[in-house]
């Protein structure tokens, strides 16, 4: 049992492999899907709210199975066991004789994982959990646009989300590099170097997806300083959450 392994302070080969796998499937896939759909914000309130309405219109048993039976358990396991691994690790990149590429990847992977853990906890609490309690209108376009510009135009939430996206993207992209090594896909140094370059490109791509999605919500603020002035009557109608489906 995972609890016994952790309490005994032992690391387990099986749980390590499962931890690596869940970082790619389904967690990594969900990250790509989530950020890609969020870029609908670039097309405006109607298109973005249409994505929310699509998920609201899904049969509840299917939606809850995907959310609570697939995505959340994998994400929680990956996060908790990842913190366990970090608690037992010893950073060595600070030592002059140990400034290898792999040590740098590992160190950044560890710190990005810690930041991503707290960021995702905040993000899930303020979106999925709050949406379950108070209704889907809490995650509609209008709410996001106001949240990213508040409070008082300081854009603190926007800054936090940019950092969270960068941390999550790095952790995922270089998690691919680590996954390929752990699962014996890349054995030679040449193969590992090619995978590292692939991870670099993936980091840039995933980060760009997330940041573009954020500025899609932020466009009305940049355009006029008044979010409400950019909302047409049609988009206001689309912003209303679907009820009684």
Which residues have CB under 8 Å from 106's CB, separation 6+?
93
Query: Do 220 and 229 form a contact (C-beta atoms < 8 A)?
Result: yes
**Cα 227 to Cα 230: distance, rounded to the nearest angstrom:** 6
Distances in whole angstroms, Cα of residue 25 to Cα of each of 30, 89, 160, 175: 8, 24, 26, 11
Query: Do 109 and 50 form a contact (C-beta atoms < 8 A)?
Result: no
pTM comes to 0.79
Reference 92, options 103, 84, 108, 83; nearest CA is 103
**Cα 100 to Cα 197: distance, rounded to the nearest angstrom:** 16
Distances in whole angstroms, Cα of residue 172 to Cα of each of 4, 54, 94, 154: 28, 27, 23, 29
What is the reported pLDDT for 128? Answer: 80
**Cα 66 to Cα 93: distance, rounded to the nearest angstrom:** 39
Query: Do 199 and 177 form a contact (C-beta atoms < 8 A)?
Result: yes
pLDDT tens for the 245 residues of the chain, in order: 455 454 444 557 889 899 999 999 999 999 999 999 999 999 999 999 999 999 989 999 999 999 899 999 999 999 999 998 888 766 555 555 445 667 787 888 889 999 999 999 999 888 888 777 776 567 889 888 888 877 666 788 889 999 999 999 999 999 999 899 889 999 998 998 899 999 999 999 999 999 999 999 876 655 555 444 444 434 444 444 444 43
* For the chain, domain boundaries: 2-239
DSSP secondary structure letters along the chain: -HHHHHHTT---HHHHHHHHHHHHTTHHHHHHHHHHHHGGGGG-HHHHHHHHHHHHTS-HHHHHIIIIIIIHHHHHHHHHHHHHHHHH----TTSGGG--HHHHHHHHHHHHHHHHHHHHHHHHIIIIIHHHHH-GGGGSHHHHHHHHHTTTT--HHHHHHHHHHHHHHHHHHHHHHHHHHHTTS--SHHHHHHHHHHHHHHHHHHHHHHHHHHHHHHHHHHHHS-TGGG--HHHHHHHSPP---
Q: Name the fold adopted by 2-239.
A: 3 helical TM bundles of succinate and fumarate reductases (1.20.1300)
């Amino acid at each position: 049992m995972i609890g016994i392994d952790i309490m005994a302070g032992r690391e387990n080969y099986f749980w390590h492999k499962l931890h690596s796998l869940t970082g790619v499937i389904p967690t990594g896939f969900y990250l790509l899907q989530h950020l890609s759909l969020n870029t609908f914000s670039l097309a405006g309130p109607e298109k973005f709210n249409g994505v929310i309405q699509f998920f609201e219109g899904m049969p509840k048993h299917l939606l809850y199975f995907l959310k609570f039976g697939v995505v959340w358990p994998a994400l929680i396991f990956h996060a908790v066991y990842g913190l366990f691994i970090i608690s037992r690790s010893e950073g060595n990149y600070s030592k002059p004789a140990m400034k290898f590429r792999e040590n740098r990847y590992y160190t950044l992977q560890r710190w990005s994982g810690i930041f991503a853990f707290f960021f995702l906890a905040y993000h899930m609490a303020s979106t999925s959990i709050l949406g379950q309690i108070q209704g889907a209108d809490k995650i509609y376009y209008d709410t996001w646009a106001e949240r990213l510009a508040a409070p008082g135009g300081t854009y603190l939430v926007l800054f936090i989300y940019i950092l969270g996206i960068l941390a999550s993207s790095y952790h995922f992209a270089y998690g691919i590099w680590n996954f390929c090594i752990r699962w014996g896909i890349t054995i030679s140094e040449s193969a590992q170097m090619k995978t590292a370059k692939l991870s670099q490109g993936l980091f840039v791509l995933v980060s760009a997806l997330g940041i573009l999605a954020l500025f899609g919500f932020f466009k009305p603020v940049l355009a006029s300083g008044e979010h409400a002035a950019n909302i047409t009557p049609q988009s206001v109608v689309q912003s209303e959450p679907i009820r009684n489906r």
